[in-house]
Structure 1
Amino acid sequence: MTIPALHFQPWGETLQEQLDAARRAEAAGAAVVWAPELHRSAPVTAAALAARTATIGVGTGIALAFARSPFLTALSALDLDELSGGRLRLGLGTGVQRLNEDWHGVTWSRPVTRLRETVTAIRLVIAGAHTGEPIDFEGSAVRLRVRGYRRPYPPVRPAIPVYLAGVGPAMTALAGEIGDGWISHELCSPSYLASHVLPRLGAKEGFEVVVSACCAIDADPAQARAAAAGVVGFYASVRTYADLFAFHDLADEQQRVIEAFRGGLPADGLAGAVAPAMVDRLTLAGTPDQVAARIAEYGGLAGAIKLSPPTHGLPPSRIRALQQQILRLIEELSR
């Protein structure tokens, strides 16, 4: 069985539990652990993950690119790379307009152009902050003019790999053009990856395609589907993903979820409105053997698959049990 590299996004009701899960993933054979940014700060979590692990790669998956200045993001990346001994993958994404404007007070305009210029500025700082030479960049959305500054610590390496999250065609194409890797959202089937994503990414040497996957493993396939349904319901309630559901012949099923959402169900409570076909086509849900077979379907398409347990609408005890099943499968597949 040919499978992609196995990455893992650890969950924890506390940060300590999240770190313990990352250590277990390292011991099981996972290649990278990723720190998301929503309920916690991705750089802070990544720093803790780097300090508590020894060999596994550590990524921010994903850090918001516009909520921090490119200079601060670059310094954080340099610190994290030093702390991890050169194991960092800097994962960046734009987030959506409402999040940037209402949560972070950041002006939203031309996100593709701004992300391109943000990555350029970050790379300039990473490459030159220790030299004392001026650092200049003048874009249409990002400006950087650094004088009289030298970071008095040598970098671990001259460049840090930058992975970009992208959903739409323009952002996905940008990732393929300027990134060292691409990270998907949690619903990305092999067929969608092959037909809609890979042609836009291109075939740049050394570029890593990382598929994020909602993974629910249970001896009872019906229980696995029920656990994963909440994640599918969350995405289905958002019109942005209409093309994804339509591609999988799930437009009518998505509409029923949207109607349930408009009828008063919360975004975390839509599992009951999700048809089984939606879960089967868009998540890795089933017995250990079924999920292993689904992972193998990404062989030759993705360089890595980032597994994470479903969380939407589930109590901590259930999430914890699902995470343990993922760790067992990683260990089994890594032998």
Structure 2
Amino acid sequence: MRITYAPWGETLDELVDVARRAERAGAEVLWVPELHRSATVSAAALIGATSHAQVGTAIALAFTRSPMVTALEALDLDEMSGGRFVLGLGTGVQRLNEDWHHARWGKPVGHLRETVRNIRLFWEKATTGEVIEAEGEWEPIRIRGYERPYPVLRTDIPVYVAAMGPAMTRLAGRIGDGWISHELCSPSYLEDRILPELHAGIDAAGRERKDVEVVVSACCSVADDAATATRRVAGTVGFYASVRTYAEFFAFHGLADQQQRVIDAFREGRGADYLADSVDAAMVDALTLNGDAARVAAQLAVYDGLADAVKLSPPTHGITPQETRAAQDEIITLIAELTGGTA
């Protein structure tokens, strides 16, 4: 099971420094998100600062760029990295796409299927001068008179699909080189809800399980003091619990009542980043890795045999940058202990 990491930095300089440290510690992939920064710009910064770890987007928004722009950026990042780039794509939610980005939403499963098809088609034909054309309900493409004058390092850059719901998870199994989980994904949810749908998609496409890397995301808080470990990560749990879309996820873990308490606090006016006081220890224990290094290592080991890789990330919601830094330092130390790297 590969250990990978999502570095955090208040500045790009800090982000780059943390990426270097995580690579030395033994993280095999460095993942960058898209919300407060551009995923592709962040990826470029990490690529320039590292030498052997893969660099991936987890995730880049699939519909806010055209498939051609996404394909071009991926080709450039892959060239910059010497073939270390992984394109992780996700849909985001309807409001984010339509209201924030003025992007088309459509039916997200079909829309993402056509988007990934177009990206791969562009990679295949970008240097040939051939017509690049495909029909589609959401992303038809028709490119004539185009020929990329620069070499393409790889036409098969890995495309990972972020998914939580059953239909999108099946799509990841059908078309993805990998699947990336939501930031909160327990071993039981992975085993009972995700893997059956992923296997259904794999089987429907006539593929094998080894064709799709399963990357589970795990928000992680390491501290010798149990209360500190719990407090640091409670805000992240509260942030996600405030969203009704995740009702089935929390209900699966027997946490429907606890989620409702968080939603009630949110409706009373607390910001989504400030809900830690409404999150109890049961929610934190069920959905995150937390505790001292030995306890977190044991929690991490439960994913072995279910996931091919774990993407560790530090807590960021409802705590100060100093606390995130402290949590991040502990995670990097843990990665080094697990992999034999250098903290």
Matched, 1:62 2:76: no
> What is the CA-CA distance between 1:171 and the residue it aligns to?
0.7
> What is the CA-CA distance between 1:132 and the residue it aligns to?
1.4
Which residue does 1:11 correspond to in 2?
8
1:16-95 mapped onto 2 (5 Å cutoff):
16-95=13-92
Which letter maps to 2:155? P
SS of the equivalent of 1:267 reads: coil
> What is the CA-CA distance between 1:205 and the residue it aligns to?
2.5
After superposition, give the CA deviation of every residue in 1:76-122 in whole Å (9 maximum; x if it has no partner): 00000000000011000000000001110012221110000000000
> What is the CA-CA distance between 1:167 and the residue it aligns to?
1.3
Which letter maps to 2:16? L
SS of the equivalent of 2:133 reads: strand
Which residue does 2:309 correspond to in 1?
304
1:161-176 mapped onto 2 (5 Å cutoff):
161-176=158-173
Which residue does 2:209 correspond to in 1?
204
> What is the CA-CA distance between 1:153 and the residue it aligns to?
1.5
Which residue does 2:254 correspond to in 1?
249
The equivalent position to 1:239 in structure 2, one of 244, 247, 257, is 244
Distance between the aligned counterparts of 1:322 and 1:275, measured in 2? 20
After superposition, give the CA deviation of every residue in 1:125-162 in whole Å (9 maximum; x if it has no partner): 11110111111111111111111111111211221110
Q: Which runs of 5+ in 2 are unaligned?
A: 200-207
Distance between the aligned counterparts of 2:66 and 2:150, measured in 1? 20
Matched, 1:261 2:272: no
Distance between the aligned counterparts of 1:130 and 1:327, measured in 2? 41
> What is the CA-CA distance between 1:257 and the residue it aligns to?
0.7
1:120-139 mapped onto 2 (5 Å cutoff):
120-139=117-136
> What is the CA-CA distance between 1:13 and the residue it aligns to?
0.8
Query: How many residues are treated as equivalent by the alignment?
Result: 332
Q: Which runs of 5+ in 1 are unaligned?
A: none
SS of the equivalent of 1:310 reads: coil
Distance between the aligned counterparts of 1:164 and 1:68, measured in 2? 16
Which letter maps to 2:221? A
Which residue does 1:191 correspond to in 2?
188
SS of the equivalent of 1:216 reads: strand
Distance between the aligned counterparts of 2:6 and 2:30, measured in 1? 6
> What is the CA-CA distance between 1:19 and the residue it aligns to?
0.5
1:322-333 mapped onto 2 (5 Å cutoff):
322-333=327-338
SS of the equivalent of 2:86 reads: strand
Which letter maps to 2:223? D
Distance between the aligned counterparts of 1:275 and 1:92, measured in 2? 32
Which letter maps to 1:281? A
Runs of 4+ with deviation above 4 angstroms: none
After superposition, give the CA deviation of every residue in 1:31-77 in whole Å (9 maximum; x if it has no partner): 00011000000001001111110100000110000000000000000
Distance between the aligned counterparts of 2:325 and 2:9, measured in 1? 8
> What is the CA-CA distance between 1:283 and the residue it aligns to?
0.3
> What is the CA-CA distance between 1:226 and the residue it aligns to?
0.6
1:102-113 mapped onto 2 (5 Å cutoff):
102-113=99-110
After superposition, give the CA deviation of every residue in 1:153-200 in whole Å (9 maximum; x if it has no partner): 121122111001111111111111110001111110000000000011
SS of the equivalent of 1:255 reads: helix
SS of the equivalent of 2:236 reads: helix
Distance between the aligned counterparts of 1:73 and 1:158, measured in 2? 14
Which residue does 2:287 correspond to in 1?
282
Q: Tell me, yes or no, if the aligned pair for 2:221 and 2:291 is still in contact at 8 Å.
A: yes
Distance between the aligned counterparts of 2:73 and 2:155, measured in 1? 15
Which residue does 2:155 correspond to in 1?
158
With normalisation by structure 1, the TM-score equals 0.98
Matched, 1:271 2:268: no
Which letter maps to 1:233? G
Which letter maps to 1:314? I
Which letter maps to 1:79? D
Distance between the aligned counterparts of 1:48 and 1:262, measured in 2? 38
